[in-house]
Amino acid sequence: AQSVTQPDIHITVSEGASLELRCNYSYGATPYLFWYVQSPGQGLQLLLKYFSGDTLVQGIKGFEAEFKRSQSSFNLRKPSVHWSDAAEYFCAVGPIPLNSNSGYALNFGKGTSLLVTP
């Protein structure tokens, strides 16, 4: 089955420290992988995406992620966290075929909540 696991429900880091959020996926072929961020009371914003090519992808707000096929992982990293990075982060995998209507969806992980301390 195509799925995403985010092993850490909550993570706390100090401002200025480095960050790594874990994402493991299960997918039969080469996946499309995404990281979204959700600030409190807001919708989801795309941070970065991987479709093919270079396995290290750069995103917005100084984030990067590395696709490791051998480990079925797509971990999100940032060298120095800012207080404004406190949010919930979702990893997603696709495309997931939907029934018989030729549509596709994404499967989302359950999210990792990031707390940044002074």
Partner 1 sequence: NAGVTQTPKFQVLKTGQSMTLQCAQDMNHNSMYWYRQDPGMGLRLIYYSASEGTTDKGEVPNGYNVSRLNKREFSLRLESAAPSQTSVYFCASSDSLDYNEQFFGPGTRLTVL
CB of 68 to partner 1, least distance (A): 20
**112 versus 116: smaller Cβ distance to partner 1:** 112
CB of 15 to partner 1, least distance (A): 26
Structure tokens at 33: 């992988």
Beta-bridge partners for 60: none
31: Cβ–Cβ under 8 A, 6 or more apart, which residues?
Answer: 2, 25, 93, 94
Query: Can you give the binding site for partner 1, defined by CB under 8 A?
Result: 9, 32, 34, 36, 42-46, 49, 51, 90, 92, 94-95, 98-99, 101-106, 108-111
**9 versus 118: smaller Cβ distance to partner 1:** 9
Q: Which of 49, 84, 52 is nearest to 64 (CA)?
A: 49
